[in-house]
Amino acid sequence: MTELDLITLDSTKVTIDGAALEGLGAGLRGRLLRETDVEYEAVRAIWNDMIDFRPGLIVRCAGTADVLRAVRFARDNRLLVAVRGGGHNIAGSALCSGGLMIDLSLMKSVRVDPAAGHAWVEPGATLADVDAETQAFGLAVPTGINSTTGIAGLALGGGFGWLTRKFGLTADNLLSADVVTANGALVRANVSEHPDLFWALRGGGGNFGIVTAFEFRLHKVGPEVLSGLVVHPFGEARTILQQYREQLAATPDQFSCWAVMRQAPPLPFLPAEWHGKEVLVLAMCDCATLEAGEKDAAQMRAIGKPIADVVGPHPFVGWQQAFDPLLAPGARNYWKSHDLAELSDAAIDLLINAVRELPGPECEIFIGYVGGAASRVPAGATAFPQRLPHFVINVHARWRDPAMDKACIAWARSLYEAARPLAIGTAYVNFMPGDEANRVEAAYGANYHRLAEVKRRYDPQNLFRVNQNVRPLETLRAA
């Protein structure tokens, strides 16, 4: 094998000789890929098509031993490292230019213990993988809303979805984690072993090591839930959102309802004359019995005069995949988001005006509510920073043609800046794009200093930096 130049942590190049590369590859159960290998392009492809970084070397890990070898190789050569789980992160942090990509996507095992109510999940698993195994027993991990999302990135950043109000964040349901740390060791983190690391993993992102196994608490859900969409004319958006805000406060934790404003896609249940026109969609799910769900959703469904109401019994697995066609890989994506303490009239007006200026047919504004069980966890109990009930506003610019880059990004940034005076200041790190490094400290709020201390202990050289990066404490002080 010929020698290879790779990028280091100092942004310089180091030449790795052929013998060292052969030694790395020979010890793997997985594969070692260079740019000249046939699989390279497919393996480096990620969800956000805007991100086009080219790793110099990819280690396709088949198990924990491969992860250990890859991390030790990166440590010994001080290589720039990116870690890929599901490859779904908006910032594209699965990739780095010229460095080493540690690819976990082959590690997809999900093992369920229905008697204990636990599941052990490898970091390459997607939400679809997790749901398929857990729902076989009528159980679920609280996760997100797009089944192609990787469980690792979701959980490490916090993770919220349809079950959050009832059962908490994905991170709140993490019981333990096996972690390969920056020094090439494997440790178990839980409330009694490496408790500070366990605290940091629950919301602090991929800053502290590579998790090779997650142990999650499971909850009884489904197999059918009351779920679906209610689609309203956009001309009624202000009134609908005001009533949505009022009704949401009166609903039980088992019921979740989020709002999306966008141009209507050609969904089969929408009259053709609405296709391509702006609409307001209320998406709802109730994780109790179907009878309870009908009661819980009644007032929300009674709002306004909808174009369509397709709320009804659906398999939970199917509902988890309902938005996949609108969020498929291959498009260019740029997000900006805020946490809001309330959905005020001023915020509603700002969002409505922005929808009137959508730069493309796939662009949208998402309003999600995080409260209930997630808001009853003390603010310092995990790294996830915002425990007050709040609305997450995600400005999702999505398009296909690179010629639209400037207009779509400018639209998202403009709304973000206009909404800044209404925001709390924290942010959901999984929604932050790659150009928000200067926002990380504010995003974590009062938890940032402790995160920086944990980073100092477990990754003092900042090996794991291709993420929404928390710098080690000494680096922070020196900056």
Report yes or no on 347 lying in a domain.
Answer: yes
Q: Beta strands 57-60 and 100-103: pairing type? A: parallel
Same domain (yes/no): 422, 383: yes
pTM here is 0.95
57 occurs within a structural domain: yes
Residue ending a domain, among 178, 201, 220, is: 220
Q: Do 454 and 204 contact (CB within 8 A), yes or no?
A: yes
Q: Is residue 458 part of a domain?
A: no
Domain boundary among 58, 75, 103: 103
Q: Last residue of some domain: 45, 75, 103?
A: 103
Strand partners, 175: none
Counting Cα atoms < 13 Å in the Cβ hemisphere of 338 gives 22
Report pLDDT for 475: 62
Per the structure, the count of domains in the chain is 3
Dihedral angle sign, alpha carbons of residues 33, 91, 107, 176: positive
CATH number at residue 13: 3.30.43.10
Residue 462 lies in a domain: no
- The answer to whether 452 and 472 have CB atoms below 8 angstroms apart is yes
Specify the length of the chain in residues: 479
Q: Do 280 and 402 sit in the same domain of this protein?
A: yes
Q: Based on the domain organization, do 368 and 246 belong to the same domain?
A: yes
Asked if residue 416 and residue 382 are part of one domain, the reply reads yes
pLDDT in tens, 104-143: 999 999 999 999 999 999 999 999 999 999 999 999 999 9
- Whether 81 is covered by a domain: the verdict is yes
**Alpha carbon distance 479, 477 (integer Å):** 6
Residue 467: inside a domain, yes or no?
Answer: no
Please indicate, yes or no, whether residues 343 and 244 belong to a single structural domain of this protein: yes
Q: Which domain holds residue 280?
A: 224-437
- φ, ψ of residue 409 to 5 degrees: the values are -65, -40
Instruction: Give yes or no: residues 300 and 210 share one domain.
Output: no
C-alpha 473 chain-centroid distance = 26
CATH number where 361 lies: 3.40.462.20
Residue 282 and residue 229 in contact, taking contact as beta carbons nearer than 8 Å: yes
CATH number of the domain bearing residue 152: 3.30.465.10
Residues of the chain with pLDDT under 70: 475-479
Average pLDDT, whole number, for the chain? 96
Domain co-membership, 208 together with 293: no
Contact present, 343 and 241 (Cβ < 8 Å): yes
461 in a domain, yes or no? Answer: no
Residue 476 falls inside a structural domain:
no
The reported pLDDT for the residue numbered 168 is 98
